A and B are shown apart, each in its own frame.
Chain A
Amino acid sequence: MPSRPEPFRFCTRLTLRESTGLRAVTLAQLAHYLKVLPGSVIFHHTHHYLQQHQSLTPEPPNDFAYWVSEVLGDRGLGERLASVDTVQFASIRALRDRLVATIEAHLGAHPWLRLRVAPPEEAFHFVKAVSIVLPTPYRAATLAAFAEALQAVTMDSLYYHIFEARLRLERGNDFARWFTGLGEPALAAAVATLDPYTHTMEDLRRTILTLVHRRLPHAGVP
């Protein structure tokens, strides 16, 4: 029997945007800055849409894909960048490598694309996400208490434990890890394999709650 884990302490993270002051007007510049800028820039441009449009269609495009398609007019590369499946990457580093490789392969095959220049007013502005993580009053020692708290916490809290913990802090899905410690491996696996990018934040909350409620005595749908 596994030892009882520490109570789950719900944290939240709030984000402030910081300008890097850098901008790109060509694909080559985009690839260059993607290689050298901090991971917080990559995280911002691949995730901020999830926050700003929390109730809209899931799986929105990342900013790089949008800019390449709509400003540089390269819909082929735009589609490839939009198709980079963020959920498959366990770190920002790996995601960054894939984005850069996709652009460089495209530039290698179509070298004349280096000549395309966006007008200055439509340059790509690199912005980074400064995350401030703070504890909330919600704690849970049991699955039932967890379910109750999960209904009450903000979307930012969900976002922290699911997106930020996995990709930015590289420790996987916080909920799944706690479920494992609680002796709930099947629940942990179900939550760990959810693709959070194909749900709105409220859908995600509902889906996890449903999975948790199934493991409670007198299981029912929340």
Chain B
Amino acid sequence: MTPTTLEAYEPVVGRQVLDELRYLAEHLQGRRIQHVNSTAVGGGVAEILARLVPLLTELGLPSRWDVIMGDPAFFRVTKTVHNALHGQPAVFTRRDARTFLDTTARNLKTFAWDGDIVFIHDPQPAGLIQAKPAHGGRWIWRCHVDVSAPHLGVWRFLERFVNRCDAAVFSAPQFAQRLAIRQFLIAPSIDPLSDKNRELAPETIQAILHRLEIPQDKPLVTQVSRFDRLKDPVGVIEAFRLVRRTVDCRLLLVGGGASDDPEGAQVLAEVRTRAQDDPDILIRELPPTSHLEVNALQRASTVIIQKSLREGFGLTVSEALWKGKPVVASAVGGIPLQIAHKHSGLLCRSVEGAAFALKQLLNSPRYAQQLGERGREHVRQNFLLTRHLKEYLLLLVAVERAGDIIHLNNAPGIR
């Protein structure tokens, strides 16, 4: 992927937004930033970091991104931790804790620390926070998952690391936990210039549909998500079957794996079994780097569905809205922040509710179009990468200086 320069965002967000980023960055010149997460490809965190890191460097804050190493046993444990933080029933044994701590210890021996500010993303690398006293600097735990109702034992295990940071960041207020440190709120974002979201020529879309064998003779309902139980692909199939009783349409389930998600193959097998060779249910498993393909499939869809049972933030919703698509999505996690019900999309809470909303949109194209247009504007104002970048810069200021009103360069207005 070729890094995109800040200047390239001007046609999308306007000159003034870029000016503000530059004013702010002037006050932070030279700070070195280090991000640590658990996967270099696949999933929203990796996608955001791939864009944010070069832009931070361009703004004068040299930034690097490191990935922890782990074996399949470690990632099985971190998957358990992830599900448990989402409130799923979980068994987290002493042996699991040992696996987590041993892998953390191996990483601690080899890790090169090089940041004035260190961001630890999500629970997988949280054990590395133990390096804070030796390395120094400001440390921030960036939590991308909903920990509002976590499995208590798992949360207690994690909390002892998190509380050693200078601050935590959550995507929405309802995701946060009580912690001994300051908690900031920063929603994630999508990159309007990435392969996954940029405008595509009609012939590019057609070529991809042809290559992936997606017929276009019927309205297309699409869910783009990892094959993960929390994304409820089986529920999507059930909703689709209710819709198809009265509306002739096709369902497309598009999933990409991620290197830290060992459960994916099992869920995919369950989905194939449930689809029972139905010719109107298409399942496409794409490599995690298939951003252009996902973009084309979203643009070719009539309606996008995101029927998750739990979500961190659910950025696939913003991706679909940015393409002006009408969206039906569960009212979980950060999705209600992206969709105002009946204004910029339709929210649902059940298989039946999802089916009803899909039928409304498939049968009322003008209404569907209005929702999609409003959704795109909402994303432009609130969920693009430049807003995310700005809030990271503000966070760097806020962790260095106390107070609810911080004046940089003694900016006094007209005093």
A residues touching B (Cβ–Cβ < 8 Å)? 6, 8-9, 11-12, 14-19, 21, 38-40, 52-55, 121, 123, 125, 127-137, 152-156, 160-161, 165, 168-169, 171, 174, 177-178
Q: A16-B394, A133-B406, A154-B20 are in contact. Are A127 and B414 (CB under 8 A)?
A: no
Q: A14-B24, A19-B170 are in contact. Are A6 and B414 (CB under 8 A)?
A: yes
In the assembled complex, the CB of A136 is this many whole angstroms from the nearest CB of chain B, namely 6
Q: Report the separation of the CA atoms of residues A174 and B173 in the bound assembly, to the nearest whole angstrom.
A: 32
User: Hey, what's the 0/1 contact readout for B394-413 against A, CB within 8 Å counting as 1?
Assistant: 11011000011111110111
Q: Smallest CB-CB separation from A138: which chain B residue?
A: B19
B411 and A130 contacting across the interface, CB-CB below 8 Å: no
B23 and A12 contacting across the interface, CB-CB below 8 Å: yes
Q: Which of B363-415 contact A (CB under 8 A)?
A: 377, 381-382, 390-391, 394-395, 397-398, 403-409, 411-415
In the assembled complex, the CB of A125 is this many whole angstroms from the nearest CB of chain B, namely 4
Q: A21-B176, A52-B382, A178-B414 are in contact. Are A134 and B23 (CB under 8 A)?
A: yes
Asked if B207 is at the interface (CB within 8 A of a chain A CB), the reply is no
B173 and A156 contacting across the interface, CB-CB below 8 Å: no
Q: Smallest CB-CB separation from B176: which chain A residue?
A: A19
Asked if B178 is at the interface (CB within 8 A of a chain A CB), the reply is yes
Q: Report the separation of the CA atoms of residues A39 and B405 in the bound assembly, to the nearest whole angstrom.
A: 11
Q: Which of B27, B184, B397 contacts A18 (CB 8 A)?
A: B184
B residues touching A (Cβ–Cβ < 8 Å)? 16-17, 19-20, 23-24, 27, 148, 170, 173-174, 176, 178-179, 182-186, 377, 381-382, 390-391, 394-395, 397-398, 403-409, 411-415
Q: A125-B174, A127-B173, A177-B414 are in contact. Are A133 and B407 (CB under 8 A)?
A: yes
Q: A9-B414, A11-B413, A54-B381 are in contact. Are A130 and B391 (CB under 8 A)?
A: no
Q: Smallest CB-CB separation from B179: which chain A residue?
A: A21
Q: Report the separation of the CA atoms of residues A155 and B17 in the bound assembly, to the nearest whole angstrom.
A: 9
Q: A9-B414, A52-B381 are in contact. Are A16 and B404 (CB under 8 A)?
A: no
B173 and A132 contacting across the interface, CB-CB below 8 Å: no
A14 and B20 contacting across the interface, CB-CB below 8 Å: yes
B185 and A55 contacting across the interface, CB-CB below 8 Å: no
In the assembled complex, the CB of B126 is this many whole angstroms from the nearest CB of chain A, namely 19
A-side contacts of B406, CB under 8 Å: 130-133
Q: Report the separation of the CA atoms of residues A156 and B17 in the bound assembly, to the nearest whole angstrom.
A: 10
From A12, A160, A171, name the one whose CB has the most chain B CB atoms within 10 angstroms.
A12
In the assembled complex, the CB of B294 is this many whole angstroms from the nearest CB of chain A, namely 27
Q: A12-B23, A125-B174, A127-B173 are in contact. Are A17 and B408 (CB under 8 A)?
A: no
B173 and A125 contacting across the interface, CB-CB below 8 Å: yes
Q: Which of A11, A14, A165, A174 contacts B394 (CB 8 A)?
A: A14
Q: Smallest CB-CB separation from A129: which chain B residue?
A: B404
Q: Which 4 A-B pairs have the closest CB atoms?
A: A125-B173, A40-B404, A17-B185, A16-B394
Q: A129-B404, A134-B408, A168-B405 are in contact. Are A19 and B413 (CB under 8 A)?
A: no
Q: Report the separation of the CA atoms of residues A9 and B412 in the bound assembly, to the nearest whole angstrom.
A: 9
Q: Report the separation of the CA atoms of residues A89 and B17 in the bound assembly, to the nearest whole angstrom.
A: 31
A-side contacts of B398, CB under 8 Å: 16, 18, 130, 132
Q: Report the separation of the CA atoms of residues A127 and B394 in the bound assembly, to the nearest whole angstrom.
A: 16
Q: Report the separation of the CA atoms of residues A177 and B203 in the bound assembly, to the nearest whole angstrom.
A: 58
Q: Report the separation of the CA atoms of residues A53 and B344 in the bound assembly, to the nearest whole angstrom.
A: 13
Q: Report the separation of the CA atoms of residues A14 and B395 in the bound assembly, to the nearest whole angstrom.
A: 11
Q: Which of B17, B20, B183 contacts A21 (CB 8 A)?
A: B183
Q: A127-B173, A132-B397, A168-B405 are in contact. Are A16 and B184 (CB under 8 A)?
A: yes
Q: Smallest CB-CB separation from B377: which chain A residue?
A: A55
Q: Report the separation of the CA atoms of residues A11 and B185 in the bound assembly, to the nearest whole angstrom.
A: 24
Q: Smallest CB-CB separation from B406: which chain A residue?
A: A132
Q: Which of B16, B411, B414 contacts A133 (CB 8 A)?
A: B411
In the assembled complex, the CB of A166 is this many whole angstroms from the nearest CB of chain B, namely 12
Q: Which of B17, B20, B381, B395 contacts A16 (CB 8 A)?
A: B395
Q: Report the separation of the CA atoms of residues A5 and B412 in the bound assembly, to the nearest whole angstrom.
A: 15
